[in-house]
Amino acid sequence: MTLKALAVAPPMVEAKGLSVRYATGTPLLGRHRSSISAVDRVSFQIARGETLGLVGESGCGKTTTGRMLVRLLEPTAGSIEF
């Protein structure tokens, strides 16, 4: 497959605006008062034959993003299309 064909082909995986928030603190009347953002509005595409590497410091959301891609964790917001 040529580079031109790769550029025109639709992505194999497309993540749009992925976010994950976790509730923190003790619930008051059944509701949590605050939350912390683990991943905030991450978007990318992976075309056929490409590889994606996630690099960052400890605690920046690499594992959480990977877990969303393989559906071990559902995003709070955003979508993943295969």
| Rounded Cα gap, residues 30 and 12, in angstroms | 40
pLDDT tens track, the chain, 82 positions: 555 555 567 899 999 999 999 888 777 776 767 888 999 999 999 999 999 999 999 999 999 999 999 999 999 999 999 9
Q: Closest by alpha carbon to 82, among 16, 17, 13, 18?
A: 13
Q: Give the per-residue pLDDT at 23.
A: 85
Q: Give the per-residue pLDDT at 10.
A: 86
> Count H helices, E strands: the chain?
2, 3
Predicted TM-score of the model (pTM): 0.76
Q: Give the per-residue pLDDT at 58.
A: 94
User: What secondary structure letter does DSSP report for 53?
Assistant: -
Burial bucket for residue 39 (CB in 10 Å: 0-12, 13-18, 19+): buried
| Rounded Cα gap, residues 66 and 80, in angstroms | 12
